[in-house]
Structure 1
Protein backbone atom coordinates (compact mmCIF):
# COMPACT_ATOMS: atom_id res chain seq x y z
CA UNK A 1 0.00 0.00 0.00
CA UNK A 2 1.51 3.30 -1.14
CA UNK A 3 1.19 6.54 0.74
CA UNK A 4 2.85 9.88 0.30
CA UNK A 5 4.74 10.63 3.54
CA UNK A 6 3.23 14.14 3.72
CA UNK A 7 -0.22 12.57 3.79
CA UNK A 8 0.42 9.56 6.05
CA UNK A 9 3.93 8.34 6.79
CA UNK A 10 4.90 5.16 8.59
CA UNK A 11 5.81 7.39 11.55
CA UNK A 12 2.32 8.96 11.45
CA UNK A 13 0.74 5.52 11.43
CA UNK A 14 2.92 4.26 14.29
CA UNK A 15 2.04 7.30 16.40
CA UNK A 16 -1.72 7.11 15.73
CA UNK A 17 -3.97 5.67 18.45
CA UNK A 18 -3.50 1.91 18.31
CA UNK A 19 -0.98 2.53 15.49
CA UNK A 20 -4.04 2.37 13.23
CA UNK A 21 -5.05 4.73 10.43
CA UNK A 22 -7.97 4.72 7.98
CA UNK A 23 -6.66 4.28 4.42
CA UNK A 24 -8.61 7.10 2.79
CA UNK A 25 -8.42 8.61 -0.66
CA UNK A 26 -8.28 5.51 -2.87
CA UNK A 27 -9.76 6.78 -6.15
CA UNK A 28 -8.89 4.05 -8.61
CA UNK A 29 -11.40 1.26 -9.22
CA UNK A 30 -8.76 -1.47 -9.56
CA UNK A 31 -7.01 -0.44 -6.32
CA UNK A 32 -10.41 -0.22 -4.58
CA UNK A 33 -11.28 -3.70 -5.81
CA UNK A 34 -7.98 -5.14 -4.54
CA UNK A 35 -8.78 -3.63 -1.16
CA UNK A 36 -12.44 -4.72 -1.18
CA UNK A 37 -12.08 -8.21 -2.64
CA UNK A 38 -8.54 -9.30 -1.85
CA UNK A 39 -7.70 -7.99 1.61
CA UNK A 40 -8.85 -9.56 4.86
CA UNK A 41 -8.38 -8.54 8.48
CA UNK A 42 -4.97 -9.77 9.60
CA UNK A 43 -3.36 -9.76 6.14
CA UNK A 44 0.14 -8.36 6.01
CA UNK A 45 0.79 -5.02 4.34
CA UNK A 46 4.00 -3.58 2.92
CA UNK A 47 3.83 0.12 3.82
CA UNK A 48 5.38 1.99 0.90
CA UNK A 49 6.29 5.68 0.66
CA UNK A 50 5.86 7.26 -2.79
CA UNK A 51 6.37 10.74 -4.23
CA UNK A 52 9.33 11.38 -1.94
CA UNK A 53 13.13 11.58 -2.26
CA UNK A 54 13.59 7.85 -1.50
CA UNK A 55 10.46 5.87 -2.46
CA UNK A 56 10.19 2.31 -1.20
CA UNK A 57 8.97 -0.07 1.45
CA UNK A 58 9.35 1.61 4.85
CA UNK A 59 7.32 -0.57 7.17
CA UNK A 60 5.22 -3.61 7.88
CA UNK A 61 1.55 -3.28 8.77
CA UNK A 62 -1.57 -5.38 8.79
CA UNK A 63 -5.16 -4.96 7.67
CA UNK A 64 -7.07 -4.03 10.83
CA UNK A 65 -10.67 -3.82 9.55
CA UNK A 66 -12.95 -4.71 6.73
CA UNK A 67 -13.90 -2.12 4.14
CA UNK A 68 -16.44 0.63 4.69
CA UNK A 69 -17.42 3.84 2.92
CA UNK A 70 -14.65 6.44 2.73
CA UNK A 71 -16.21 9.60 4.21
CA UNK A 72 -13.82 11.88 2.29
CA UNK A 73 -15.83 11.22 -0.88
CA UNK A 74 -18.77 13.10 0.65
CA UNK A 75 -16.80 16.05 2.06
CA UNK A 76 -16.69 19.02 -0.35
CA UNK A 77 -13.65 20.40 1.53
CA UNK A 78 -11.66 17.21 0.93
CA UNK A 79 -9.29 16.78 -2.03
CA UNK A 80 -10.90 13.34 -2.36
CA UNK A 81 -14.45 14.67 -2.69
CA UNK A 82 -16.49 12.89 -5.36
CA UNK A 83 -19.80 14.66 -6.02
CA UNK A 84 -20.95 11.75 -8.21
CA UNK A 85 -20.65 9.16 -5.44
CA UNK A 86 -24.11 8.36 -4.07
CA UNK A 87 -24.42 8.12 -0.28
CA UNK A 88 -26.60 4.98 -0.52
CA UNK A 89 -24.12 3.14 -2.79
CA UNK A 90 -20.73 4.80 -2.27
CA UNK A 91 -18.06 4.30 -4.92
CA UNK A 92 -15.06 4.59 -2.62
CA UNK A 93 -14.05 2.47 0.33
CA UNK A 94 -11.42 2.47 3.02
CA UNK A 95 -10.08 0.00 5.52
CA UNK A 96 -7.97 0.47 8.62
CA UNK A 97 -4.26 -0.30 8.51
CA UNK A 98 -2.31 -0.99 11.70
CA UNK A 99 1.39 -0.23 11.50
CA UNK A 100 3.50 -2.90 13.15
CA UNK A 101 7.05 -1.71 12.62
CA UNK A 102 9.23 0.67 10.69
CA UNK A 103 11.89 -0.92 8.47
CA UNK A 104 14.86 0.27 6.53
CA UNK A 105 13.89 1.65 3.12
CA UNK A 106 13.78 -1.01 0.42
CA UNK A 107 13.63 0.89 -2.85
CA UNK A 108 12.60 -0.19 -6.33
CA UNK A 109 16.19 -0.75 -7.47
CA UNK A 110 16.81 -3.21 -4.64
CA UNK A 111 13.50 -4.97 -5.28
CA UNK A 112 14.39 -5.34 -8.96
CA UNK A 113 17.65 -7.14 -8.07
CA UNK A 114 15.71 -10.23 -6.93
CA UNK A 115 14.57 -12.64 -9.63
CA UNK A 116 11.77 -13.92 -7.37
CA UNK A 117 10.23 -10.45 -7.48
CA UNK A 118 10.34 -9.99 -11.27
CA UNK A 119 6.55 -10.37 -11.59
CA UNK A 120 5.67 -8.25 -8.57
CA UNK A 121 2.95 -5.84 -9.66
CA UNK A 122 4.52 -2.73 -8.14
CA UNK A 123 7.59 -3.36 -10.32
CA UNK A 124 5.70 -3.61 -13.59
CA UNK A 125 6.26 -0.87 -16.12
CA UNK A 126 3.53 1.76 -15.98
CA UNK A 127 2.14 0.66 -12.61
CA UNK A 128 0.61 3.67 -10.85
CA UNK A 129 -1.74 1.88 -8.46
CA UNK A 130 -1.61 2.77 -4.78
CA UNK A 131 -2.64 -0.74 -3.75
CA UNK A 132 -1.35 -3.92 -5.39
CA UNK A 133 -1.41 -7.56 -4.29
CA UNK A 134 1.76 -9.23 -3.07
CA UNK A 135 2.13 -12.96 -3.68
CA UNK A 136 3.22 -15.20 -0.77
CA UNK A 137 6.66 -15.88 -2.30
CA UNK A 138 7.17 -12.11 -2.79
CA UNK A 139 6.18 -11.46 0.82
CA UNK A 140 8.70 -14.07 2.02
CA UNK A 141 11.51 -12.68 -0.14
CA UNK A 142 10.89 -9.14 1.08
CA UNK A 143 10.75 -10.16 4.74
CA UNK A 144 14.08 -11.92 4.20
CA UNK A 145 15.50 -8.78 2.58
CA UNK A 146 14.44 -6.75 5.59
CA UNK A 147 16.48 -9.02 7.85
CA UNK A 148 19.62 -8.10 5.87
CA UNK A 149 21.36 -4.71 5.88
CA UNK A 150 21.05 -2.66 2.73
CA UNK A 151 23.66 -3.49 0.10
CA UNK A 152 26.39 -0.92 -0.48
CA UNK A 153 25.79 1.25 -3.53
CA UNK A 154 27.49 0.11 -6.71
CA UNK A 155 29.67 2.34 -8.74
Structure 2
Protein backbone atom coordinates (compact mmCIF):
# COMPACT_ATOMS: atom_id res chain seq x y z
CA UNK A 1 0.00 0.00 0.00
CA UNK A 2 2.87 2.36 0.82
CA UNK A 3 4.40 1.73 -2.59
CA UNK A 4 1.13 2.60 -4.30
CA UNK A 5 0.91 5.97 -2.55
CA UNK A 6 4.57 6.64 -3.24
CA UNK A 7 4.11 5.85 -6.94
CA UNK A 8 1.01 8.06 -7.19
CA UNK A 9 2.81 10.92 -5.43
CA UNK A 10 5.74 10.74 -7.85
CA UNK A 11 3.38 10.58 -10.85
CA UNK A 12 1.49 13.69 -9.68
CA UNK A 13 4.77 15.46 -9.01
CA UNK A 14 5.92 14.90 -12.59
CA UNK A 15 2.58 15.98 -14.03
CA UNK A 16 2.63 19.17 -11.97
CA UNK A 17 6.16 20.04 -13.04
CA UNK A 18 5.52 19.80 -16.78
CA UNK A 19 6.28 23.09 -18.52
CA UNK A 20 3.35 24.96 -19.99
CA UNK A 21 4.31 25.98 -23.51
CA UNK A 22 2.61 29.07 -24.93
CA UNK A 23 2.41 30.31 -28.53
CA UNK A 24 4.98 32.98 -27.63
CA UNK A 25 7.50 30.26 -26.69
CA UNK A 26 7.43 28.72 -30.18
CA UNK A 27 9.92 31.28 -31.53
CA UNK A 28 12.56 29.58 -29.34
CA UNK A 29 12.45 26.49 -31.55
CA UNK A 30 14.04 28.30 -34.50
CA UNK A 31 17.69 27.51 -35.06
CA UNK A 32 20.11 24.62 -34.77
CA UNK A 33 19.63 21.85 -32.18
CA UNK A 34 22.05 19.13 -31.13
CA UNK A 35 20.73 15.96 -29.55
CA UNK A 36 22.11 15.32 -26.04
CA UNK A 37 20.33 12.15 -25.05
CA UNK A 38 17.36 9.87 -25.61
CA UNK A 39 15.39 8.60 -22.62
CA UNK A 40 13.68 5.38 -23.62
CA UNK A 41 10.29 4.26 -22.32
CA UNK A 42 12.09 1.54 -20.35
CA UNK A 43 13.90 4.27 -18.38
CA UNK A 44 17.31 3.72 -19.95
CA UNK A 45 19.24 6.66 -21.41
CA UNK A 46 21.47 6.93 -24.45
CA UNK A 47 23.94 9.82 -24.23
CA UNK A 48 25.30 11.51 -27.35
CA UNK A 49 28.78 12.95 -26.81
CA UNK A 50 29.32 14.08 -30.41
CA UNK A 51 26.88 14.54 -33.26
CA UNK A 52 27.51 14.45 -36.98
CA UNK A 53 24.04 15.82 -37.73
CA UNK A 54 22.02 18.65 -36.14
CA UNK A 55 18.34 19.48 -36.55
CA UNK A 56 17.55 22.91 -37.99
CA UNK A 57 14.07 24.34 -37.38
CA UNK A 58 12.52 27.35 -39.06
CA UNK A 59 8.96 28.05 -37.91
CA UNK A 60 7.06 31.19 -38.93
CA UNK A 61 4.48 33.22 -36.97
CA UNK A 62 1.68 31.02 -38.31
CA UNK A 63 3.35 27.99 -36.62
CA UNK A 64 4.27 26.43 -39.96
CA UNK A 65 7.79 25.64 -41.11
CA UNK A 66 10.46 23.03 -41.73
CA UNK A 67 12.99 20.78 -40.04
CA UNK A 68 16.21 19.92 -41.89
CA UNK A 69 19.12 17.69 -41.00
CA UNK A 70 22.39 19.64 -41.32
CA UNK A 71 26.03 18.66 -40.88
CA UNK A 72 28.35 21.01 -38.95
CA UNK A 73 31.67 21.71 -40.64
CA UNK A 74 35.03 22.49 -39.05
CA UNK A 75 34.93 26.11 -40.24
CA UNK A 76 31.67 26.79 -38.37
CA UNK A 77 29.31 26.49 -41.34
CA UNK A 78 26.69 23.81 -41.96
CA UNK A 79 26.39 21.49 -44.95
CA UNK A 80 22.78 21.13 -46.09
CA UNK A 81 20.86 19.31 -48.79
CA UNK A 82 17.39 19.77 -50.27
CA UNK A 83 15.65 17.23 -48.00
CA UNK A 84 13.36 18.58 -45.28
CA UNK A 85 10.25 17.78 -43.30
CA UNK A 86 7.26 20.11 -43.17
CA UNK A 87 6.30 21.03 -39.60
CA UNK A 88 3.04 22.39 -38.21
CA UNK A 89 2.80 23.35 -34.54
CA UNK A 90 -0.54 22.24 -33.08
CA UNK A 91 -1.98 23.21 -29.68
CA UNK A 92 -4.49 20.63 -28.40
CA UNK A 93 -5.82 19.70 -24.95
CA UNK A 94 -3.18 21.64 -22.98
CA UNK A 95 -0.44 19.98 -25.03
CA UNK A 96 1.69 21.09 -27.96
CA UNK A 97 2.48 18.83 -30.91
CA UNK A 98 4.83 19.05 -33.86
CA UNK A 99 3.09 17.47 -36.85
CA UNK A 100 5.74 16.38 -39.37
CA UNK A 101 5.14 15.37 -42.97
CA UNK A 102 7.16 14.31 -45.99
CA UNK A 103 5.91 13.01 -49.33
CA UNK A 104 6.22 9.52 -47.82
CA UNK A 105 4.77 9.70 -44.30
CA UNK A 106 3.22 11.79 -41.51
CA UNK A 107 3.81 11.63 -37.74
CA UNK A 108 3.50 13.73 -34.60
CA UNK A 109 5.73 14.34 -31.61
CA UNK A 110 4.73 16.05 -28.38
CA UNK A 111 6.67 19.13 -27.34
CA UNK A 112 7.48 18.52 -23.66
CA UNK A 113 9.87 21.38 -22.93
CA UNK A 114 11.10 24.41 -24.85
CA UNK A 115 13.37 27.28 -23.90
CA UNK A 116 16.13 29.25 -25.60
CA UNK A 117 18.60 26.47 -24.67
CA UNK A 118 16.51 23.27 -24.33
CA UNK A 119 14.11 21.28 -26.51
CA UNK A 120 12.46 17.99 -25.47
CA UNK A 121 10.27 15.96 -27.85
CA UNK A 122 8.26 12.82 -27.04
CA UNK A 123 7.50 10.39 -29.87
CA UNK A 124 4.69 7.82 -30.11
CA UNK A 125 6.97 5.10 -28.68
CA UNK A 126 7.27 7.26 -25.52
CA UNK A 127 10.96 7.99 -26.13
CA UNK A 128 12.09 11.47 -25.05
CA UNK A 129 14.59 13.28 -27.26
CA UNK A 130 16.57 15.93 -25.36
CA UNK A 131 18.25 18.62 -27.45
CA UNK A 132 20.49 21.56 -26.60
CA UNK A 133 20.90 24.67 -28.71
CA UNK A 134 23.83 24.13 -31.04
CA UNK A 135 26.54 26.65 -31.68
CA UNK A 136 28.85 26.74 -34.71
CA UNK A 137 32.12 24.86 -34.45
CA UNK A 138 35.29 26.68 -35.45
CA UNK A 139 38.28 24.43 -34.84
CA UNK A 140 40.42 26.18 -37.44
CA UNK A 141 41.01 29.22 -35.24
CA UNK A 142 41.48 31.35 -38.34
CA UNK A 143 39.63 34.34 -36.87
CA UNK A 144 36.96 34.25 -39.55
CA UNK A 145 33.43 34.93 -38.44
CA UNK A 146 31.19 31.87 -38.49
CA UNK A 147 27.70 31.93 -40.00
Normalising by structure 1, report the TM-score. 0.26
Query: By percentage of residues, which structure has more helix?
Result: 1
Larger radius of gyration: 2
Query: By percentage of residues, which structure has more strand?
Result: 2
